[in-house]
Structure 1
């Protein structure tokens, strides 16, 4: 009988075969159905196989070694609880993206630029999770990055997409270099790149610190940690919407997997100081990500920035787990780790749902600018309902799944008084306050996104003439919306499924949750907190029903119609409604003045003039201008000076070669 890892690799091989087949079928009308139908089946099979390994809690097998890769090493692949969980996340997202693309892909004007790379992208992500040596991991990582880059460049002729692809390629190369150095330090002088050998080898404190920094740079750049996030709001909106959902909801999780694999598994028990860096980066990323999103009027860029916020929350959970683990506090560490994993799963659901919704809006209207949307709740009722569920879930409102994982994270924050270090005792509550601020800002952000896009009146002919999208797209969104609800009202099932991961990485797990009465969850102790999603759902349903009946009973049966107050105008035009900028204006004035140097510019014509008044918002990305802009200027300055070397004489070139040789000999002498 074929082993679990062999079955997963068979699915990867089949995905690569579909990618080759797509090259031949891309220009045919049947190609869309064949390619996405095949990826739907293969991702579904891979998801089911990984879920079976995760739920049964089977011990990881010996793995599989293929005679490819480095001659003395080969290619090692292994399936354990950690990789099984992430395989479920990746392949569930891939299956639903394929279902969505069966309808969405019909509108693709350049399918030959998308179809061959879509299954290859999925195959690359799967290979990263299965790799059990550094060479296979890095090779799979680069394959995943290049396939996703090709998908970002699918619409390269559209304004800004070529720049997005260029920035993405630069950041991906930088991240890979950091990972390469990290694995080099992990392998040490022996040069054994197999994960089993790295796991068994001792690592000094200095090497562990350096590896942690390199992993934050390498995995953090792909995940979207601030200030390494600059590529994400450019590349994710540039890709087709089903690819955007995979990049934002799924590929960022592959980066987080790499961080967990190295820092929690290969490095061994961490020092508590490592948690300080992770906690600080996570808290800053969460707040900055959602503030960036609040300033946006482009729907897909808003969702991309929101991913940065959620990645920050995940890293806060991981930082808490590092802090508790370093101090030998097993249960709080398992709680924080489970909260991070739960949020990884939840974010893959509601962020994919929201990107699918944004893609449906784009198909129906051709618009991403929320200033030109509005009124879609009447023209796209199914999309508006599922998008609302995604907005409520990502805003961490019960009874949906986003609330549960964030509640678990705050429960872990409340365990911080147990930590012996005063620095952590002070820092962790401060980070908890930053998470609370980010959660509140997220709710405001998605009130803005949903209200400007789906409510009010249409602000453009495109929005006024919109129609509901195809049944495949609606079905994919409906499945994700249902999963958001089920994970919110039955969180104990998810937490118990995550227990084998915690047991494998931290060697401790939370108590079983499905055994508790009324499907409640008690993370640590009943006296410290419990939650019951089913009762919350029942309370919300009963309260809403009673409120509706009371209003119906107590209200007057007479109907009186009157025009809404429009500041003295009998028939206000749609453009006079609240816009995305006006909704965000109070928060922009509070936070944006300092963090974005935000300025509102109002031009009022003089009395008697018929010229229109003008309003504009000036925002500055200080991280881009002060960090990446200066790096680019320095590179340009140096490269301009180095161009003069092309005009050297023969004597000059010989002198340069001689000086280089002397410098190398000096370095070798010092090194020896």
Structure 2
């Protein structure tokens, strides 16, 4: 029943997409389309959550007369599908609610409305697919719909370039997944997941499939160095679309990785986990370092998606390592940490993109150097954004801390692994994870402080107004879930139990029945985390300190001008800037990793000319990988260009020679 309703909701989202065309002249069409999208997303969310918390005896399955001839389209909802369907559903609800208020400031509604529900439908079909054809069809539908949303403002050159890069990366990822499913289906001859799941593969085929899926899913998730599209696409897309792409679509990519590697492939060798752990650790620390160098708020958030994807893949790599060494309880711990962070990131990253969208709608600015003082003009957005900043910085008692704490617990049990290479790598990855957590906190002190505190740095910031009630409701709903998931992490662990047991062989111990009890992932004597007690202590301490300061420092009240450090002019130019805030970290890390160079122009004494500093930062992934590939493609295209002017006889000769070559290759292969 739940699968039927979920598929009907996906079909209804498709019809909603089509309905946006006849409603083009209707003045209230934004509310109608986004309202319908929110309703169908709510039903999908209910189906996924219901199947996750109250699973059926057998996962519901269905074959529809569509897809490949004589085969049909296979759909199935197991615990993993239910979890990610719930994530997609909640993302659709909150994004649609935010868009109802945000769309009043959107100038390209005609190019957004048809593809927004289609995007959600494509993601839903990906997680419900039970054969390779439906999976890949839905994957491409998700990619093309999101590309159309990215280029909605296509007349801007930067947005058109972002769409081009995104579409290219999506094509590369899809090609890798097609090859992976082709190898998986080679032995059995069937594309149904139920048949592939029972097929034994050689170690070489397993390794190749693992590499291909890492490329295919990693390019969509933003795994380094396949992340190049993220910092371009997120600033180009409307903010509610950015929230869906970062908070939900990257999680669908994680779903694809888990579905193929943990379910269909189930690699037995530990070497595959080495690759995933290495990429996860590098992705986490480079993502946050990239973010620290940014002045554009949405680009900063995009790079933090890269960081959090790295954290998720660290958990997945640990789970693969422990599973390969037959340590199921540690594999369960690692997989729980990873999936918990998937849920958490979908909540706080959507919240942060909503906050950046609210700021953009009110000020017209994405540059944090032109913001400031918004705490007085937009108090509701400020509070919600602060919650998101605390959550993504992995500070207790919010949800980001709980999942990263579980990841560290999994790292601490790595001495149980017999391979010394893994032991050394996991220690290094743990150090990178700790570094990324510290840098993330510094980065969001910068993001929040530069955007909301201090004095306004531009006229638009000084005249900003709070966004409407629907947008605030979407932000506060996500903020509330960040708080609840943070102070009741044991209940989240229990909810993830069916998924973890399905792929790790066992789940974490059932957490105590009182929802306020501490979370004990392994054993009480080893480690525990009492989030609710910590929340109460933090609240009492903060309120007590505030009351003490108010009772002592505010009697008697003296009003005077604030100390101006010797500057009588209260100019915003005397405040810290985004560049000056990040300068110490830039000098420590970016000079070696990003090749950052500073050029200072200091006038001689007596010269009234202003001093100037210019900073140039290089992107090693873009300049070292993608630029050479682009140059090689252009070179080959230039050399092959004369082939389009050949005669028909020469074309036939080329086809004949190619056929001979392929037959010879086939005879050698067989």
Question: Which bin holds the TM-score, normalised by the shorter protein?
Answer: over 0.9
How big is the shift at 1:657?
5.0
1:157 to 151, 155, 176: 155
1:393 to 391, 414, 418: 391
Distance 2:318 2:489 in 1: 21
Q: Does 1:382 align with 2:374?
A: no
Does the CA-based 8 Å contact 1:264-1:270 persist in structure 2? no
How big is the shift at 1:668?
3.8
Number of the residue aligned with 1:52: 50
Number of the residue aligned with 1:242: 240
Q: Does 1:180 align with 2:181?
A: no
Q: Does 1:354 align with 2:338?
A: no
1:499 to 497, 500, 520: 497
Number of the residue aligned with 2:419: 421
Distance 1:629 1:577 in 2: 38
| 1:158-182 deviations in Å (ceiling 9; x for gaps) | 2400000000000000000000000
How big is the shift at 1:393?
0.4
SS of residue in 2 equivalent to 1:123: helix
SS of residue in 2 equivalent to 1:428: helix
SS of residue in 1 equivalent to 2:56: coil
Number of the residue aligned with 2:567: 569
Distance 1:533 1:662 in 2: 68
Distance 2:313 2:648 in 1: 55
2:273 to 272, 275, 298: 275
Distance 1:658 1:116 in 2: 46
TM-score by length of 2: 0.97
Change (3 A) 1:587 1:23: same
How big is the shift at 1:236?
1.5
Worse-superposed segment, 316-325 or 353-362: 316-325
2:224 to 226, 232, 243: 226
Worse-superposed segment, 165-174 or 540-549: 540-549
Number of the residue aligned with 2:206: 208
Distance 1:197 1:62 in 2: 17
Number of the residue aligned with 2:310: 312
Q: Note the 1:121-140 alignment, pairs <5 A.
A: 121-140=119-138
SS of residue in 2 equivalent to 1:24: coil
Does the CA-based 8 Å contact 1:360-1:383 persist in structure 2? yes
Number of the residue aligned with 2:31: 33
Q: Note the 1:448-597 alignment, pairs <5 A.
A: 448-515=446-513, 518-555=516-553, 557-561=555-559, 563-597=561-595
SS of residue in 2 equivalent to 1:23: coil
2:67 to 69, 83, 99: 69
Distance 1:283 1:503 in 2: 26
Number of the residue aligned with 1:289: 287
Distance 1:131 1:650 in 2: 44
Number of the residue aligned with 2:108: 110
Distance 1:502 1:28 in 2: 47
Does the CA-based 8 Å contact 2:108-2:152 persist in structure 1? yes
Does the CA-based 8 Å contact 2:318-2:334 persist in structure 1? yes
Number of the residue aligned with 1:303: 301
SS of residue in 1 equivalent to 2:507: coil
Q: Note the 1:6-17 alignment, pairs <5 A.
A: 6-17=4-15
Distance 2:183 2:649 in 1: 41
TM-score by length of 1: 0.97
Change (3 A) 1:26 1:339: farther
SS of residue in 2 equivalent to 1:313: helix
Does the CA-based 8 Å contact 2:60-2:76 persist in structure 1? yes
Does the CA-based 8 Å contact 2:490-2:515 persist in structure 1? no
| 1:70-118 deviations in Å (ceiling 9; x for gaps) | 1132100000000000011111011110111111112211211000100
Change (3 A) 1:280 1:213: same
How big is the shift at 1:660?
3.5
Distance 1:226 1:91 in 2: 28
Does the CA-based 8 Å contact 1:563-1:570 persist in structure 2? no
Q: Note the 1:614-633 alignment, pairs <5 A.
A: 614-633=612-631
Change (3 A) 1:525 1:516: farther
Distance 1:108 1:671 in 2: 56
Distance 1:599 1:414 in 2: 38
Does the CA-based 8 Å contact 2:280-2:310 persist in structure 1? yes
Distance 1:189 1:578 in 2: 62
Q: Note the 1:363-374 alignment, pairs <5 A.
A: 363-374=361-372
Unaligned segments of structure 2, at least 5 residues: none
How big is the shift at 1:563?
4.8
Does the CA-based 8 Å contact 2:126-2:138 persist in structure 1? yes
Worse-superposed segment, 397-406 or 637-646: 637-646
Does the CA-based 8 Å contact 1:491-1:521 persist in structure 2? yes
Does the CA-based 8 Å contact 1:275-1:320 persist in structure 2? yes
Worse-superposed segment, 127-136 or 66-75: 66-75
Change (3 A) 1:400 1:517: closer
Q: Does 1:639 align with 2:637?
A: yes
Does the CA-based 8 Å contact 2:188-2:199 persist in structure 1? no
Change (3 A) 1:242 1:614: same
Q: Does 1:440 align with 2:454?
A: no
Distance 1:566 1:644 in 2: 70
Does the CA-based 8 Å contact 2:187-2:199 persist in structure 1? no
SS of residue in 1 equivalent to 2:21: helix
Does the CA-based 8 Å contact 1:317-1:339 persist in structure 2? yes
How big is the shift at 1:446?
0.3
1:337 to 335, 338, 347: 335
Worse-superposed segment, 634-643 or 253-262: 634-643
Distance 1:581 1:241 in 2: 24
SS of residue in 2 equivalent to 1:615: strand
* Cα-Cα RMSD: 1.6
Distance 1:321 1:664 in 2: 41
2:251 to 248, 253, 256: 253
Number of the residue aligned with 1:266: 264
How big is the shift at 1:517?
8.0
Does the CA-based 8 Å contact 1:156-1:162 persist in structure 2? yes
Distance 1:37 1:280 in 2: 43
| 1:292-326 deviations in Å (ceiling 9; x for gaps) | 00000000000000000000000000111111111
| 1:447-472 deviations in Å (ceiling 9; x for gaps) | 00000000010000010100000000
Distance 2:149 2:661 in 1: 44
Corresponding pairs, count: 670
Distance 1:242 1:517 in 2: 33
Number of the residue aligned with 1:143: 141
